[in-house]
Structure 1
Amino acid sequence: MRKPLIAGNWKMNGSKELVESFGRAFTDIDLPSPLEVVIHPPFPYLDAAREAFANSAIELGAQTLNPLHSGARTGEVSGQMLKEFGVAYVLVGHSERRQLYREDDEQVYDRVIAALSVGIKPILCIGETLEERDAGRTEEVVLRQVGYVMARLEPEQRREMTLAYEPVWAIGTGRTATPEQAQQVMAAIRGYQAGFDRELAAGLRLLYGGSMNAANARELLAQQDIDGGLIGGASLKVDDFTAICQSAG
């Protein structure tokens, strides 16, 4: 059985007060079992989050990392540094990183390897643009992004991976893929993995991202191949994020 995972990506948002409010809210909360919950705050809040989440159900995630362990890279953060702060998960290949910072498939792969090398679990983000969807290229684009990384990993490395399908056209727009659209892509991803590792495919966690919220989470999470969500805007509101977590039961 795949353990559901609900991950919140705060992007360049948040505050110490928000960190503390999530820590308080999730300390005594009655969550569905089994369920993992991860929050990815901006780098400056990692230490505050580690302290605030210490007695809660929340695990700590980071939003990206540099492929190098150290060096002359002003403004960058390495996996070794993240590990020191108790980071368990890291987002890799988010569409905003691919688009705004020109991270290509090879750079995404390098970041996956950097995370795995220090024992941090990557959440590999994949997804198509509106133009690619309208051109009928959704599965081609998504499976290329998946394959570029997964086909190059060792079997034990693949088992540490989580994949998050985020149609770019649904991120921060209020538009959401229908449950059927999301399920179709998730099934294609799982089928691709089954082509070279059936056991991995059966256990691989697939998250949906792209304007998942308290209103639509239950229907999305009810799909056979959707094992959780990568939540953007709704993860900045304690009540909304809590409701999404409850929907995973």
Structure 2
Amino acid sequence: MIFAANLKCNHTRSTFKLYADQLNRLSWDKNNEIIVFPPSIAFLEQDLNFTQGAQNFYPCINGAYTGEIGKEHLDEFGIKCVLIGHSERRKFENNDFIKEKFDFAKKYGFKVIFCIGEDIKTKKENKTNEFLRKQLENIDLKYDKLIIAYEPIYSIGSGISADLKDIENVLNFLNSLSKAKLLYGGSVNENNIAQILNINHCDGVLIGTAALKIENFIKLIKDNSC
């Protein structure tokens, strides 16, 4: 199983070091993969027993891109996993730019967690599959380091996860499009994670709020490991 934590705009370098130190004290079943996306200011330059990923980056090595994070900066911290397409980034990034980021990440061999998800209006109009297909149409679905995370926008940060049957239907649909591993994200917590991980084609979870405190994240992993 994949247990990924998106810390968003939370934690400083000092608090993330405490977070990472606690993760580093634990050993994981070889069938589990742990990925944590801290804010870039909190990247750690140390040996970690989990994968440290980047929430965002600019598709460049370096250059005249004020305020951006290039590959050169990710390399300094040994980061080879990136998050692309999160709905909180799609507010600022169009499909062309998202494709540019994906193509750059693929060129340099990054593991990509590619986020997709529909809003409540699209869901109520029964256009979810059509909407998700469009979000995926510009990327290489055969890329061997691709992971797709289904995160319905109406569930992110709301405390209300999508209906289990809806998740199952979407993951079945995504599996028909790509053999990439599939995650679910959107108000994953201790009350629903076990049921979500039992859904057909679910290879793991992308956790937000419930992973901000390290003791909570560790409990979610320990209680639901393979």
Q: Shorter-chain TM-score category? A: over 0.9
Seq. identity, %: 30
Matched residue, 1:160: 145
Whole-Å Cα distance in 2 between the matches of residues 215 and 225 of structure 1?
Answer: 20
Structure 1 residue aligned with 2:135: 145
Instruction: Decide which of 66, 69, 76 is 2:61's aligned counterpart.
Output: 69
Partners in 2 of 1:218 and 1:142 — Cα distance? Answer: 25
TM-score when normalising by structure 1: 0.85
Q: What code does the residue aligned with 1:45 have?
A: A
SS in 2 for 1:149: coil
1:121: how far off?
1.1
Q: Structure 2: which amino acid aligns with 1:171?
A: I
TM alignment of 1:183-194, pairs within 5 A: 183-193=168-178
Aligned pair 1:34/2:31, yes or no? yes
In the TM superposition, what is the alpha-carbon distance from 1:86 to its structure 2 partner? 0.8
5+ unaligned residues in a row in structure 2: which ranges? none
Structure 1 counterpart of 2:19: 22
Q: 1:113 aligns with which of 83, 94, 103?
A: 103
Moved over 4 A (4+): none
TM-score normalised by structure 2 residue count: 0.93
Aligned length: 225
Question: Residue type matched to 2:153 in 1?
Answer: V
Structural RMSD (CA):
1.5
2:138 aligned counterpart, secondary structure: helix
SS at structure 2 position matched to 1:243: helix
User: What code does the residue aligned with 2:187 have?
Assistant: S
Distance 1:125 1:115 in 2: 14
Q: State how far apart, in whole Å, the 2-side matches of 1:237 and 1:87 are.
A: 22
8 Å contact kept, 2:109–2:145: no
SS at match of 1:13: coil
In structure 2, distance between residues paired with 1:115 and 1:80: 13
Please report how far the alpha carbon of residue 31 of structure 1 lies from its aligned counterpart in structure 2 after TM superposition. Answer: 2.8
* 2:7 pairs with 1:10: yes
Give the C-alpha shift of residue 241 in structure 1: 0.8
What residue identity is the alignment partner of 2:175?
R
Residue of structure 1 aligned with 2:158, choices 142, 153, 173: 173
Query: Given the alignment, which residue of 176, 188, 192 partners 1:212?
Result: 188
Q: Please list every run of 5 or more consecutive structure 1 residues that lacks an aligned counterpart in the other structure.
A: 194-200
CA distance in 1, matches of 2:175, 2:35: 23
8 Å CA contact 1:207, 1:227 repeated in 2: yes
> Aligned partners of 1:10 and 1:148: how far apart in 2?
27
In the aligned structure 2, how far is the partner of 1:188 from the partner of 1:147? 14
Q: Which residue in 1 is equivalent to 2:79?
A: 87
CA spacing shift, 1:215–1:115, aligned 2, 3 Å: same
Alpha-carbon spacing, 1:50–1:218, altered in 2? closer, same or farther (3 Å): farther
- SS of equivalent residue, structure 1 residue 33: coil
1:40-84 CA-to-partner distances (Å, cap 9, x unmatched) read 1111111xx332xx2x43111000111222222110011232122
**What residue is the counterpart of 1:59 in the other structure?**
51
Assess, with a 3 A threshold, how the Cα gap between structure 1 residues 123 and 208 changes in structure 2: closer, same or farther: same
In 2, Cα distance between equivalents of 1:25 and 1:146:
36
Change (3 A) 1:120 1:131: same
Structure with greater proportional helix content: 1
